[in-house]
Structure 1
Amino acid sequence: MKGTVKQRGNTWTYIMDIGRDPITGKRRQKTKGGFSRKKDAQAALRKIQTELDEDRFVDPSKESFSSYMEFWFTSHYQKRIKETTASSRKYLMDKHLIRENPFANKMLSKITTEDIDAFYNLKLDEEYSTSTIRKLHQLLNQAFGQSVKWKKISFNPVINADPPSVKKEEMKIWSFGEIDSFLNQCKGERHYLTFLLAIYTGMRKGELLGLKWSDIDFEKKVIRIQRSLSYIPNKGYRLSTLKTKKSKRQVPIQDFLIKALKAHKDRQETQRKRLGEHYQDQNCTEIGTFQDPRNVLRVMKRICESANVTPIRFHDIRHTHASVLISEGVDIVKVQTRLGHSKPSITLEHYAHMMPNQDDEVADIFHNALQKSR
């Protein structure tokens, strides 16, 4: 890299070519003046030359945090994640990190760990969930981490920040009696099959609403889960890829579910003939179009009230399915595979408290082993 020292009036200034911007490709120079002696300017120049040679030089960015975030998100981050994830993260960034952030207009290179901790405390005071704050923490960590790689800052201030631990919502599940009451109450409802499959398979809501008839293998009695229905702002409902690689799976189903699916398919075929060209062959709903998840949730709430069962979230149906399997002694790895969790540890994290207490049995096994050795 080339550098020079020049006299300007009674002081000295160094000018150093520091290469091209890794993002824009434009040539960059570092200039600093006000040195009273030429040798002081030369010493400062040599220091920068050494840092450049050792790849340690960072020219602190003068751009604002908000402008950097916008650029980082659109040019880098959103290209590496699912469209549905990008949509939700963009909302979080715009609302919390740009519009409602005390350091949004502060220079990127001036933001400290103290600023970030104060931001987390502000969000706690505003009564946002710890889960939301952790997501903001992840966004900040990735954004600042990339700015270090781009040599806009020398250190990621998020590393030493202290986000709150996630407080998990209490898991609500139905008893066997409540499952029966709910299913009996919703017979004849348009969404009956959706609820029936949810209870007996533990599938996620998006996975259920993204099913196509080609995913049902009537001969092998399995459902192949290959996509999910998601909402993307300004675009509506779209089929998207699954949450993880392990989410793509086959779920075995019983004969009575096969029978229910075939009956539903026959009804749908009748609808198709009746509607003709107005029928849209999308998935397993009454008229072929996507089911609106909001309608499903409204129906579920109404049925819970009329059936007098514990009001739970749709996702808690999945928890109910898992809890029944675990309480019946099904191996945790088999439960993980059925639910589509990426690792058994995730299944254990969610449902360890439901595992049958086998401490007494373990004690007996150890005692009997010692007795046999004597």
Structure 2
Amino acid sequence: MTEITTLNLQRVLNDLFEKGTAYHTLRGIHNAAKMIFNYAKEVGVIGVNPVEAVFVPKKKLTLEETNGEDVSKLYLETDELKVFLNTVDAHRNIMNRTLIYTIAFTGMRPGEAIALKYEDIDLEKKSIRINKTTYAKKSLRGDFDLTPPKTISSIRTVDIDDIIVEKLKELFHYRVIREWIVSDYVFGNIDGIPPTVKSLNQTVRRLGEKTL
């Protein structure tokens, strides 16, 4: 274990990716490896977790493939994501910033993120339980139902990085000091109501255009 490097692990994921392994399977492998090496670090076997700098590869779509696609389905390369997130950092709405970061770092669907409630998040264990999504009726804020994900396999718990933990804490603190309306929803805005997937997609598009 002490001889395994970040490059070794990255090559393994890249090789599986080239062989057609599904993205969610790669995410599972990445999460499992991260937990194993975190434990090794905690008991003193290693000093640094080599998985921290490993990324899960995604398919880069062509313009033809993305034509007409919903922005939530588009994948960005690592460098492109960094540029995009720099633009997100300058966005004035802290709720939107935190929501976009959470989606980008966890791979969850926009509807799943919007449906998150405080009870779904464990900042101590650094995990998020995903067991529902939103079903919008008329694309109006607040006019939605909470429904189970499309498949049983979509019900899952994902690990979150320290950066997401800190951004969530910042959002929660901001909500209190600004006296926003109390809401069960993690991404409830000043009035306690979360955005629609449509409005989130529009925000992402506008931010994306600024990076061109």
TM range (shorter): 0.5 to 0.7
Task: Give the corresponding residue for 1:56.
Answer: none
Describe the SS at the equivalent of 1:170.
Answer: helix
- Whether contact under 8 Å (2:87, 2:210) holds in the other structure is yes
Match of 2:80 among 178, 196, 212: 178
1:223 maps onto 2:125 in alignment: no
Match of 2:104 among 190, 194, 199: 199
Task: Give the corresponding residue for 1:270.
Answer: 177
Identify unmatched segments of 5+ residues in structure 1. Answer: 1-168, 309-374
- Whether contact under 8 Å (2:149, 2:155) holds in the other structure is yes
1:253 maps onto 2:160 in alignment: yes
Task: Give the corresponding residue for 1:300.
Answer: 204
- Whether contact under 8 Å (1:282, 1:290) holds in the other structure is no
- Identity, in percent, stands at 27
1:226-241, aligned counterparts within 5 Å? 226-233=131-138, 236-241=143-148
Describe the SS at the equivalent of 1:269.
Answer: helix
Q: Deviations over 1:75-129 (max 9, x none)?
A: xxxxxxxxxxxxxxxxxxxxxxxxxxxxxxxxxxxxxxxxxxxxxxxxxxxxxxx
1:54-203, aligned counterparts within 5 Å? 170=65, 172-189=74-91, 190=93, 191-203=96-108
Describe the SS at the equivalent of 1:194.
Answer: helix
Q: Deviations over 1:136-175 (max 9, x none)?
A: xxxxxxxxxxxxxxxxxxxxxxxxxxxxxxxxx8265322
Q: 1:270: Cα distance to partner?
A: 2.2
Task: Give the corresponding residue for 2:22.
Answer: none
Task: Give the corresponding residue for 1:123.
Answer: none
RMSD of aligned residue pairs (Cα, Å): 2.1
Q: Which runs of 4+ in 1 moved over 6 A?
A: none
**Equivalent residue pairs, number:** 135
Which letter does structure 2 place at the counterpart of 1:215?
Answer: D
Match of 1:210 among 115, 125, 138: 115
| CA distance, structure 2, for counterparts of residue 173 and residue 259 of structure 1 | 24
Identify unmatched segments of 5+ residues in structure 2. Answer: 1-63, 67-73
Distance 1:234 1:249, change over 3 A: closer
Distance 1:269 1:183, change over 3 A: same
Q: 1:197: Cα distance to partner?
A: 1.1
Q: 1:280: Cα distance to partner?
A: 4.9
Which letter does structure 2 place at the counterpart of 1:239?
Answer: L
Which letter does structure 1 place at the counterpart of 2:130?
Answer: I
- Whether contact under 8 Å (1:206, 1:229) holds in the other structure is yes
Q: 1:282: Cα distance to partner?
A: 3.6
Which letter does structure 1 place at the counterpart of 2:65?
Answer: E
- Whether contact under 8 Å (2:111, 2:134) holds in the other structure is yes
Whose relative contact order is higher, 1 or 2, with alpha carbons under 8 Å and at least 6 apart?
A: 2
Q: Which has the larger radius of gyration?
A: 1
Task: Give the corresponding residue for 2:195.
Answer: 291
TM-score by length of 2: 0.58
Describe the SS at the equivalent of 1:220.
Answer: coil
Describe the SS at the equivalent of 1:174.
Answer: coil
Distance 1:217 1:170, change over 3 A: same
